[in-house]
Chains A and B, each alone.
Chain A
C-alpha cells in the first residue's frame, strides 16, 4: 500500500518536473513556436476533456461544442477589448456565459429522445451562434474578428510564452481536477449508468433529461474556460472559433484519444494539434484529412466509438473468465 503510493508520488513529482522544465527546454532549446504549440495542446486538451464529459461519460455526441469554446473566447475578448474591466473578471465571465449558452442549447437538445435530434439540434444551434457572431458586425466586428486584445503584462506573450504557459497549465490542471472529481462523484457514476442504459436509469427513478442537461452545462462551462485561454493566447478571436468544423475536431480528439479514458481526449488533442501544424505546412486540405480519419475510425475501429462498448467488452471478458 505505502509502496504503491510512493510509486504514485514518484510519478506525480516526475510529471511536475517535466511540465515545469518543458517551457524552458522548448523555448531555449528549440524555438518559441514549439512552446506556443505546447500551450495550444494544453488549451485543446482542456477543451477535449471537458467535451468528453458529454461524449464519453454521458454518452451524447454533441456536434456543437465549438459554440461554448467560441462563447468563452468571445466573452473574454469583448470584455477586455471594450471595457476597462480587469482580466480575472473577464476570465471568470467567459465560462459563465458559455454555461448559459450551454443551458439554452442543452435545454432544447435533450428535450427530444433519440440521438438524431440531439445531433441535429446541437449542430444547428451552434451554427446559429456562429451566424449571429458573423453577422453582428457592430458588436462582434463580424469576420474581421477582434484583434489586439489587451492582456495584462504578467501573462503577456509579447516577449516570452513562458508565463502564459504556466498560467494555462495551472488553470487547466485545476479545471481537469474538478472534472475528475465530478466524474468520480456519485453524479459521474449516475451519468455512466445513464449512458449504458437510459431506459433502466429511468426505471430506477433517474431524471434522465436533467442529468444530461447538467452534464452538458458543466461541459460547456469548462469548454468556455478553454476558449478564454485560447483568446488570451492569440490575443485575437474570429468567428472561425465557432465554426462547425471546430466541433468536429474536438469530436475527433475524443475518438482518437479514447473517450472511455479520462485523459484520453487530452492525448487526442496533442495528436491533432501536432498533426495540424505538420500537415498544414504541406497542404491546405486539412479538412480532407480530418474527414478521412473520421471515416477510417468509423469503418475500422467502431468499437472505440460505440456507446455500448462496455457491455460488449464485459460480455467478452465474462466469456473468457468462464
Chain B
C-alpha cells in the first residue's frame, strides 16, 4: 500500500465543496419543512432548472465577459419566481389537508418539471462554461486546486451567514421562526401566514436554483440530476435533523466528508456509506443530530 496521507487533504477540500452544495440544497428543504411542514420532493427539480437556466443564460450572453455572473444572479431569481407560482397556485390550495397530499403534489411536480426540461432543453448532455476569472488553479499546501472549488466553498459560507442573519437578526426571520413554532398564533396576531409561506417557498427555491447554477460548470447537465442531488439532500436532513438550518449545515459537512473519504475506499459505491450513516442515525437518534424529537402524525 503506497497510501499518500496528503490525499486526505485533497479529499477534504473536495468534500467541503460537495458539502456546501448539499447545504444549499438541504437548507431549502429544511426551511420549507420547518415553517410549512411540507417536504418539497420537487426541490431537486428547482436545482435542475437553475442549472439549465444557467446554461441558456451563459449561451445567450456568451459574448459578454460577465455572462456567468449574470446567470448567477438571474437564474435563481427566475427559479424562485417559478417556486412562488407553484406555492401560490398549487400548494396553497391544500394546506388544510393531509400532509400526504402535499407530498404527493410536490412528487408529481418532479414528473412535470422533468418533462418540461426535456421539452425545452432536450436530452443531450449540456455543458456550462466556467467563467474565465474562476477557471484557474491555486496551490494550497503543496497541492493545486481549481479556483472554482474555493468559489463554491465561499458561496456556501456566504449563504450560511446570510440565512443566519436573516433568521436571527431581521423581523422577517422572527416571523419565520414564529410561524415554525405556532402557525396559528402568528395568524391570530394579524400576520398573513400565507404570505410568509410564499416567501419561505421562494427563498427555498432560490437556494435550490442557486445550488444548480453553482454546480453547473462542474458537471454535465442531464435529466436525472435532480434525483441524484435530492437523495443526498434527504440524507443530509435525516442526519442533521429535519427543520433545523444548523443541522442542515452539520449534516452537509458530515455527508460531504464521508462521501469524499468513502470514494477512496469503494469508488463506485460511496453512496453506501452515506446510507449506512443515515441508517445508524435512524436507529440511535431518529430526530437527527440537531433535530427536535419528531412528533407523531401516524
A residues apposed to B, CB below 8 Å: 59, 61, 63, 108, 111-117, 119-121, 123-125, 127-128, 131-132, 135-136, 198-199, 244-245, 248, 251, 284-288, 290-292, 294-295, 297-299, 302, 305-308
Contact = CB atoms under 8 A, between A and B. Distances in A.
Contacts of B103: 61, 115-116, 119
Contacts of B286: 111-112
Interface stretch (B8-16, B112-120, B135-143): B112-120
B298 A114 contact: yes
A248 B297 contact: no
A124 to B, nearest CB: 5
Q: Nearest 5 A-B pairs (CB), nearest first? A: A291-B111, A288-B115, A291-B112, A294-B108, A287-B111
Nearest to A135: B268
Contacts of B101: 298, 302, 305-306
Contact of B104 (A59, A116, A135, A294): A294
6 contacts: A108-B279, A113-B297, A119-B103, A288-B114, A298-B105, A302-B101
A287 B114 contact: yes
Nearest to A126: B231
B234 A298 contact: no
A136 B269 CA distance: 9
Contacts of A117: 238, 242, 294
Contacts of A286: 115
Interface residues of B, number: 48
A298 B231 contact: no
B104 A61 contact: yes
B19 interface: no
Interface residues of chain B: helix, strand, loop or mixed (majority): helix
Interface in B75-105: 90, 93-94, 97-101, 103-105
A124 B269 contact: no
Contact of B298 (A113, A119, A292, A298): A113
Nearest to B114: A287
Given A288-B115, A290-B111, A114 B275 contact: no
B51 interface: no
Nearest to B113: A291
Contacts of B235: 124
A295 B115 contact: no
Contacts of A121: 238, 282
A127 B99 contact: no
Contact of B98 (A114, A120, A307): A307
B271 A131 contact: yes
B4 interface: no
A41 B260 CA distance: 44
Nearest to B115: A288
Contacts of B104: 61, 251, 294, 297-298, 305
A136 B268 contact: yes
A91 B188 CA distance: 61
A248 B227 CA distance: 13
B289 interface: no
Given A108-B282, A127-B231, A305-B100, A298 B108 contact: yes
- Name, among A115, A199, A307, the residue most crowded by chain B CB atoms within 10 Å (CB to CB): A115
A115 B100 contact: yes
B296 interface: yes
Nearest to B38: A116
B48 interface: no
A132 B297 CA distance: 32
Contact of B296 (A113, A244, A295): A113
B225 interface: no
Contacts of A294: 104-105, 107-108, 111
Given A124-B235, A288-B112, A111 B282 contact: yes
B1 interface: no
B125 interface: no
